[in-house]
Amino acid sequence: MKRTCLAVAVALLLVACSQTPEEAAPDLSPQFGTPGTYSAVDQLAVGESGVYLGGTWKDKPSLIKFSRSGNIPWVRSLSGQVFEVALDSGGSAYVLFHSSANDAEYFLRKYTQTGTFVWQRQFTVPDGDGSGYYASDVDAQNSLYLSYAGFDASDKKELRKYRSDGTLLYSKPLAEGITDLAVVPDGTTYTVSSKQRLTRYTSQGAQVWQKTLPFAASRVAVGSNSQVYVAGQPVFDNYITENRVLLARYNSSGAKYWQRTVRTGFFAYGGGLDADTEGNVFVSVNDQESPRDDRDVYFYSYNAAGTRLVQRTFDFDYDAKLAELGALNATEVYLGGTDDSSYEEGFLVRLNGLTGSVTWQR
């Protein structure tokens, strides 16, 4: 899956980057999340070939691959913070990251499922600082769709499409920042924006329709082309006493089927959203029972009719900062994030989305 955008000031140049890719981290003996490894999860993508995490490993920005059985075949160190990870049908990973040495440089890099470097593209962003929205997803032809937008109204906002060989197919200027996007196999793209809108585009970037949402949606997922899910929060919630995470289903024409309140809580906010081809949808939420409690991770699943199937709580030793959720199918769902301890240990959980039972946890 997916996810987002980057702040831009004046211009964006796409050039082939001559920077040599960093080598794999040589020592993979510490288990992910082991105290002292300084691991963290910022992004997550799931496919048949495994689970790919964007975050840190041994306190270094990295792309980390997990097998579906919970092992780590390889890690690739990167030069700066990871903003996006997407996965194609062949198991190749696309990772967007920031240069820690130069705020104006952003890199889009492709690796095979075995960790072999394929290509890299460099975005030169004057006055870029990494703040903003980012989103990405891949279609059945392994074309990558990438959006970025700064937080400020004057910042540049674009939706881009790349061929699997790194060729830029189009760059579409946008009037508002995309907070998330989801792509179906034929390239039809659904986006949610900072202006409370759900928009459908063709694979060539032409707008088909746009709907105003009843709440501020931060995530979108597609079960099939007729099952479009959005999740977010009310614009004017009472943040002092409670917060709500909402989920709604739309069809491919933009008609709303139903809306559900996933969770109401003191600190409730959405983390991840994904759906399977049967129309089941999976949601992760951060919340704390009271101001004195640690933040926990809550997992929910619903069927296409809007019936809740599962609610499960993951109580970690420290505040948990949930980053992402990805579903390979209904019985194989992954949760990734970071606890807020002094080590900021990353965690990854594989569970059954229909029962909530845990297969393994790292």
Q: Which tokens sit at 203?
A: 């694979």
Check residue 179 and give its pLDDT. Answer: 92
Query: pLDDT at position 126, please?
Result: 52
Alpha-carbon span 232 to 82, nearest angstrom: 23
Contact assessment for residue 314 and residue 327, using Cβ atoms and an 8 Å cutoff: no
N-to-C CA span, the chain: 20
Nearest residue to 219 (alpha-carbon basis) of 87, 326, 67: 326
Q: Residue 314: its pLDDT value, please?
A: 84
330: number of Cβ within 10 Å: 20
What is residue 98's predicted lDDT score, i.e. its pLDDT? 85
* Residue found under tokens 């109401």: 264
Q: Which stretches of the chain drop beneath a pLDDT of 70?
A: 1-39, 104, 124-131, 151-154, 236-241, 288-294, 316-323, 340-344
Report CA Rg, the chain: 19
The number of residues making up the chain comes to 362
179: Cβ–Cβ under 8 A, 6 or more apart, which residues? 4, 5, 133, 135, 192, 193, 194, 217, 218, 219
What does the pLDDT read at residue 335?
92
pLDDT of 338? 82
The tokens describing 61, both together, are: 């920005």
State how far the Cα of 81 lies from the Cα of 242, in Å rounded to an integer. 32
Residues 47, 328 contacting (CB under 8 angstroms): yes
Name the DSSP letter for residue 21. P
CA 304 to chain centroid: 22
pTM of the model: 0.87
Helix or strand (DSSP H, E) at 360:
strand 358-361
